[in-house]
Each structure stands twice: as C-alpha cells, then as structure tokens.
Amino acid sequence: MTISAQAFVILAFNANNQLAVRRDGTRLDLAFVGSNASDAAAKLATVFPTHTPPTEYFTCEIEAVRHQVCFTQTPAQPSAPDISFLTLEQLALQPCDQLTPALAAVLTRLEPHLIEIPYLHLGENDYIYKFRVERDRNHDIYQQDAAARALYQSRLCEAIKTLARTNERSATRPARLDFGAVNYIIPSHFGFCLGVKNAIERAYETLAENPGRRVFMLSELIHNPFVNEDLLRRGLRFLQTDKGQPFGPDGNLAAASAPTLWDTLTSEDIVIIPAFGATDEDKKRLVRKGIRVAQYDATCMLVEKVWKAARAFGREGYTVVIHGKSEHEETKATFSNSRRHAPSIIIRNLSEARLLGDYMAAPTEAKRAALLARFAGLHTPGLDPSRDLDRIAVVNQTTLLMNETAAIIDYFKSVFVSKYGETDGPAHVGGAGKKDTLCYATQVNQDALQRALAEPLDAAFIIGGKNSSNTYQLYRLCEQKLGSRAFFIQSEANIRSRSEIEHYVFAAASHGAGGHTEMHALWPDENTPKRVLITGGASCPDGLVQQVVARINSFYPAAQLHDIDTVLAGLAALRT
C-alpha cells in the first residue's frame, strides 16, 4: 500500500484519564487532527488553552494515511460543545459503527501506552509523590479522635526520637528507659518511615476530603493490621488482598467468576495506590475505567527510585535482576515496571543468584533449560539466558537486608571477573555502588537495631504485621543474637503473661509449616530486673510500642516500677 499523506493526531486526556472525542454526526471521532503538528496544536489550543506539551507516542496507518499520534493532558473542561470526555472503557463498548475508522484504529494501539497516560504532567526524572518536609506534614490526622491517638501517639516514643534521632539517615546509640524492674533498650530509629507517613496521611486526608464518595485502597495501605483496620472503620475499602485476590461487593473474597469490587468501579470513585506501588496491569485497569491515578498514587519515592534505576540500567543494555520476594506487592510492582525497559528476572536470595551464576560462568543448553524452568513466571517473556545474562544489574525490594543484596552483587562481580578478568569483568555488573537502590529508612532501622543489640539483653520484642517484610528482617537480626529470646509480635495482646508469648513464626522460617503462631515463655518465675529491647518495623505505629512497654510493666508490682513522668524526666536530663 502506498502512503499518500501524513496526519498529526493529538489525544487529549483529563486527570481522570478520559479521552476527549468529537461528536461527528452519529459517530465519535478523533478530536484534534491536522495536516501538520502546528495545525493539530492550534485546534487543541482553541478547546484546551492549558495542557501539557504534546508528546509523540506512536504512528499508525489509516486508510493509506500515516498518523503521528501524540498525547497531552489538560486540567480543563472542553470549550467546544461537540467535544466531550469519555473513558476508554466506554469507548471500547461502543458499537463499531459508532466510531470513525480513525478513532477505532487509534484506540487499538493505545494498550502499550496506557501506563503513561496518568503521568503526562511529569518528567521522567520527577517523582509521583515526594516526601513532605516536616513543616508540611499533617500531624492532625494522628490525633483526630481517641482511637487515632491511642494508635499513633506515644509520649515515650516522641521523647526517644527527640533525644536519640539527631539525624534521620544516621543511627545513633539507643535510648534507655529505666522503669526500675525493667530497663528498655530502644533503637534510635524504629517505626514509621517517611514513605509510610506519606501514605497514611494521604489516605486519611482523602477520606476527610471526599465525604459521600467511595474511597478504595488498591490493597493494604501498609503491612500493619491495626492501621488498616482503623482506615476500614472510617470507610475505606480494599479492592484486593496483598496477594492480588479480589474482594466481592460484600467485602468477602470473590469466588472465581463472581462479581468483584473492581467490576463496580466508576470514574466517580477514588482508588489509592499504596506505598508499595502497583503493577502496570492494575494501573491500566484504573485508567480504562477513567479513575484518577496520579492524584492518589502514594507510591513511596524510594520504591520509585528503584524503578528509575531499573529503567536506566535497561537503557544501558543491562538485564535487571530484582532481589526480592516474588509474592510481595513491591517486588511485583518493580518487576512490572522494569519489564517495560529491560529483560528482568526475580531472585529471592544468594542461593538463587548462584543458580544464575553457574550458568553465566559455564553456559550449556542443559543449564539454560533448567534455569528457565526454575524461574518460570519470574522472568520477562522471551528472556534468553545466553543473550540476557551476560550484562546484569541488581535492584532490590527496599525492605530487605542490605548485606544480602550487597553479597549478591559481590557474587555476580566475582563470576564475571573469573570469566572476563579484573579489567573487563566488573563492567558486566551495572551500578556504581552497592547501595544505589537500598531504602535508607530500612537501612538506618537495621543499623540502629544492631547498635541496640550490642547491649546486654534478656529479651527482644519486634512489633509488626505478619506480612511485613522489613519487620521480618529486624526479627532475623534479633534472632541471630538472642535465639528463642527474640519474639515477633503484632501488639501487646500477644504478650499474654510472663509464661505465654504468642510468637509469630514467618513462613520463611517455618521449615515448610507455613506462617503460624507458637507459645513461648518469657521469664515465668523470675523477678530480677530485666533488660528488654523493643523495636518496630517501618509500618509500626508509636502507640503500639508504648502499649507493649505498659503490658510488660503490668507483670510487676507498682512499687517496683518508676512512673512514666519520672522516666521521661530522666530522658530530658540526658539532653541537658
């Protein structure tokens, strides 16, 4: 077919990801088409004076005419009566004879680009949602009622952070709370990170600002049951579980082929994306339904930093190796994002890295087949080990242990040095430093805990949700030092008595038994003074920490304990 002419098309989307279309008699048509770029832009400007610069995304041939298709985003309503916004889902449901051939052809080409539409107002180096500086934080949401104050507020934690946390990014010596019968050792850094604070504040603000509207969370906001339950109590609803299983309209898990909450969504609904981020597939579903994505995307900017690193590595020709748990929402989102830019594969630990390294060092067809079978579903379609594993770059799930990611990078470097020599080998592993994609908040919590573990201790309590990866890493550090005297709990309710602690065993440490709770003893028959470490994961509210202190103190006669004002006065004296 001979291409006889060229046309320029500008697709204008609003913040709800709805497309502006023109009513042409009984049919819908492309709104802004010109014989050249200036002509199309002029037509756009007459209807939407304010818009982002049109950016070309693809070309397509329609009736022997090559169309260059650009996207723009506008905050305005159309000024022309024949132009209106429709969701992509509404357009997909239109009978064929209700769409012009040009519009129908363009719509069929949109799918690969849907993920870009919500973020047309951002440059590629911009972050979706930057951390708020302290003066812009919304502290009121943590004390809006008695339930919020009990969950989020703690005089002890506030005093500890004032004393010990001299720098947000650097661990210092732990705080010591002398209650008499019990001395508590609290790391300088524990509990909420900035990404979690941002997500929590965004969720509560959205509920308060939108009375009467349905507000959903894509899945759990953070991995803490008490925070999630408080949000549910205030009207928030989850679309799916942290494993991606959809809920039905009744709030229960939807059976196969049964209606889901997803099916009920309209462009009037609000869906918040949690701090872990979301997969491209979930975001595309929201885009098709005409739901605002960018405005309610609470992805942590340190998670997004990982995505940007993966994109950069892909442009440099590296295959991206993601160190993470394939079932975790963050790793799913990172893989989904990375696969757009580079061949990608997920590994869980150093043992799995060695499986890749064995092939890299001495590739054979048998090893290639075994590798693809072992990592089925964990790599991009079409990944060819013989081609794609010669230059690799490692990014990570932000909540893992730094030394484990560093060990994986060191291992890969050693493989390529052995294969290509000291001069050429290191260039086969991307990244200038080992910590490029490690979350500083996760790392500083781990560093602070290591300093606290250097103290003489009788027990350690690590507080966090059962599905909290970063909390599990903190527990692992404590368990390595204290063995059975380290207890993973969700709240003070798990401390039933001095002889009964409901200790949660993570699936990864259960030797095939799955995650479960075991009863462990603390110190049933001893009344001697104790030294107890308490820390919380990045999704642990301060109120839970103070409640654990109060629970342990309750096992001792009041005469053996100092009151909280005396303890706080002791902390204040340390600052003078």
Q: Kind and range of the H or E element at 542?
A: helix 542-553
Structure-token pair, residue 154: 């703690």
Residue 275, CB-side half-sphere exposure with 13 Å CA sphere: 28
Only one residue has tokens 């798990």, namely: 494
* Strand-pair category, 500-505 with 495-497: antiparallel
Kindly give the residue spans of alpha helices, DSSP state H, lying in 436-536: 440-453, 469-482
* Strand-pair category, 55-62 with 65-73: antiparallel
Between CA 36 and CA 47 the distance in angstroms is 18
Between CA 398 and CA 438 the distance in angstroms is 5
Identify the three-state secondary structure at position 233: helix
DSSP codes joined into one string, 355-416:
HHHHHHHS--HHHHHHHHHHTTTSB-TT--HHHHTSSEEEEE-TTS-HHHHHHHHHHHHHHH
Residue 463, CB-side half-sphere exposure with 13 Å CA sphere: 27
SS (HEC) of 306-364: HHHHHHHHHHCCCEEEEECCCCCHHHHHHHHHHCCCCCEEEECCHHHHHHHHHHHHCCC
**Strand order from edge to edge, sheet including 215-217:** 237-238, 215-217, 270-272
Q: Which of 201, 330, 352, 479 is catalytic?
A: 330
Only one residue has tokens 């500890």, namely: 160
Sign, CA torsion 502/541/148/210: negative
**Contact 101/62 with Cβ under 8 angstroms?**
yes
63 given a catalytic annotation: no
Of the chain, the end-to-end C-alpha distance in Å amounts to 84
Q: Kind and range of the H or E element at 224?
A: none
Q: Across-strand partners of 73?
A: 13
**Contact 18/24 with Cβ under 8 angstroms?**
no
Distances (CA, A) of 58 to 38, 40, 98, 162, 421: 18, 16, 24, 54, 43
Residues serving a catalytic function are: 330
